[in-house]
Structure formats: structure tokens, C-alpha cells
Amino acid sequence: EGRGRKGKHNESEHTDEEVTTTVTSWISDMENYIVLEPLGSGGFGEVLKCRSLRSGNFFAMKRFFAPDETHHIFQRELAPLSVLKHDNVIRLLTAFLHGGLMHAIFELLEHSLCDELKKKGCGLESLTIKKYSFQILRAVDFIHSHNIMHRDIKPDNLLVSRSGVLKLADFGSGRASNHAAVPLTRAAGTMWFSAPEMLVMDPDYNKPVDVWAVGCTLVFMTTGNYFLKGERFLEHIKMIITKVGPLTAIQEQQYLNNVKHAREFAALPLVHPTTDLMEKYGISDPLLAQLVETCLQMDPVDRWRCSALLRHPYYTQDHFHESFPKELEKMVDQDQSVHLMVEQDSFPPITTWEKFQERNNNSPRCRNPGTRRRREMEQVGEKDAGKGVNITLSLCL
């Protein structure tokens, strides 16, 4: 099932009585945290580095600037993340309302895959690519097994711990793959990593859009360059056709159904990309090039599932798929801080929207932790913030 450690992902269920007990002893507003510095911002709001007054632990606080959409944010992003317990998925610790705005507390990781690639200025080492890509596939396979599409997989949304554990983050564009109540949109993800069926607004796109994004990410990890980088929609579609292949009949029809772009259809190129996969993707490893090819298929039906990709010869030829999970288990053990934080801060579980509302309406106001304690924490926070620590949390820009 792609799990690094036995028992790490199946946490015990909480009874209503346990939830109530935890809630009444929890300080559930901003006064429990010292905000140290901003980590970034986007259309959704902002991400802040903060420190708990209770434990002194550091966290990432995501503040959503949408007071009228708290229920939507809870259902779309927080509720799914609360049940996705996996070593390669970002850990949501808790959430609360403050000043009418939704706030979510996440584990804090040091940098993203994008940061690592920018710092290096070129592609990663071959073994690092194999380790990172295997973890990406584990994460996506896990969320797909829970019928969730991420819809915005890209290097910015892949965070890396100090020990090298990679985690999929930012589920702001996530959707249940079997949810048909709300139409799917093209604007859900980043264009450079968006699958063709997503771009032409096929209303029935599904989990394979994430596999396409993984393929684009693999090329980026290997070469240090974006594989598909159109500045405008039509330019990007042309680039996909030129580099990957022609639109399928269904995709052509969806493209024509969009009146805005129908008049531009004649301008689409009629080309046949090279069949030399290493030349096509700029990758010298033939097995890695084959792995990318299985992800970047124009027809989503032809893309491999993540469970199959994890058994691709790229991983099985040297028994990497058997040896690396054991190494990953040790890497995760080195990142025990998250588990200690959960124990020290006694975060209440995120259950249903109704219980979330009840907790925020009825939980006691923060008791003053004491002027001396707050002053001490602020001084420590200022000291840490002054070090210029480069810590990021993925944003949905």
C-alpha cells in the first residue's frame, strides 16, 4: 500500500467524548501562537511561520482571506487532508477560526523541490531523482486510493524535509474524483503542469491529470527546465502538440466546443514528435525516459496508474522498489519532530464541519499565558527570524 511504517498512517479514531475533552482543554485562537515572519502569499491568503506558546514548536500557519468561504475551504482542503495520513503527504495538524478567517496549522518543512532545483541551477543527481520521484508516486497513489485528485502537482507543491522525505502539499485545488456536483475547471492548476484534457475543459477529466503533472515534474527534476512552458493558452497547446503529440478526437471536439478558441483551431500544428524518447525529453537514462513517456500520454486512458508506475523497470531493475522503502523508513524516523509536536501541543482532531463550528463557538477563550512567557517567546522568535531561515510552505498562486 506504499506505507513507510506500519501503523503510521492509521491513527486511532476519536469518540465524541474524547473530542469534547480535548476541545475544552485546548487554546483555540491566535493567542496561542507568536507569528514570526511571512513565508509567502497568494490568491487564497498568506502563509506565516509561527511558534506555539504552549510547546515552543515551529509551525506553518495558513490564513485564508475568504471569510464568506470558510465552509467551502473546510470541505475542499482541510477535511480531506485531515484523513490523509501518509509519510509523503503534508501533515495538517489542526484548524480554527479567528477574526472570521480560517486558519490552518501545518508541519513546517524547510524547502520545496522548486527551491532545491533553483539553488542547484540544473537537474538533480540520478539517485536523488529516483528517490524523489518514487516518493511523489507514493503520495499520489495514496491520495488516488482515497479518490482525491490534487490537480496542482508541481515542484512548488512538493516539500522536502531535512532528511530527504518529500511531501505533497497544498490541496487547495484538490477535488474528490467521484464528485460530480460541481463542474471541474481548467483554472484549477498551473498551466505548465496541466494535462491536455484539463486545458480543453473536458468536463470528465479525472485522476490521470495528476499523472501528467508528475511526468512534467520528472522532466523538470532531470533537466532543471520546464518541459512545457507556453506563456499563453494557445501557445501552450501548440507546444504540447509539437513536443508530445496531437490532441485526441475527444480533446479536439472539446477544444472546438469552446467558442473562444474554435477560430484558432486551424492554427494548431500538424506535426509528429520524435520517437526517440531520450531526445524527446532531454533525458539520458532510457528507463527514466520510458517512465516519463508512460505519464505524458495525450489520451488519459493510456497513462499508467501510480501503482503501476511504482513497479516500472526504472525502479525494479536494481530492486530499488524493495530496498528504498526500508531506507525511507529510517529517513522518516529522523523526522520525529512532527510526531512529538502533535503530542506536545495536543491538537484537537478535525472531524465534521458541524463539530468544527461547535468547537470554535464553544471553546474557552485563551487564558493569558503570562506576560513573562510571551515576552520570552517573542524574544526567541525575533532571534530566530533574524537568522533568515529559509523555510517555505507551498502556495496556491
pLDDT digits (tens, 9 = 90+) for 244-269: 999 999 998 888 887 566 666 666 77
Query: What's 224's DSSP letter?
Result: S
Query: Lowest-confidence range among 112-126, 344-358, 382-396?
Result: 382-396
Catalytic-residue membership of 318: no
Q: How are beta strands 166-168 and 111-112 bridged, if at all?
A: unpaired
Residue list for the binding site? 62
pTM score > 0.85 for this model? Answer: no
Please indicate whether the domains covering 16-108+338-386 and 111-316 agree at the CATH topology level.
no
**pLDDT tens figures, 96-111:** 888 888 899 999 987 8
Question: Which band of pLDDT confidence, cut at 50, 70 and 90, is reported for residue 7?
Answer: very low
Cα–Cα distance measured from residue 351 to residue 10, given in angstroms and rounded to the nearest whole number = 15
Tell me which CATH code domain 111-316 carries: 1.10.510.10
Cα–Cα distance measured from residue 45 to residue 6, given in angstroms and rounded to the nearest whole number = 36
- Please give the distance of CA 285 from its chain centroid, rounded to a whole number: 27
Query: Which residue's entry shows cell 470558510?
Result: 70
CB neighbourhood size of 105 (10 A): 22
Question: Which band of pLDDT confidence, cut at 50, 70 and 90, is reported for residue 18?
Answer: very low
Cα–Cα distance measured from residue 6 to residue 319, given in angstroms and rounded to the nearest whole number = 21
Residue list for the binding site for ATP? 62
- Domain segments of the chain as ranges: 16-108+338-386, 111-316
Overall CATH class of domain 16-108+338-386:
alpha beta
Give the active site residue among 152, 156, 202, 210: 152
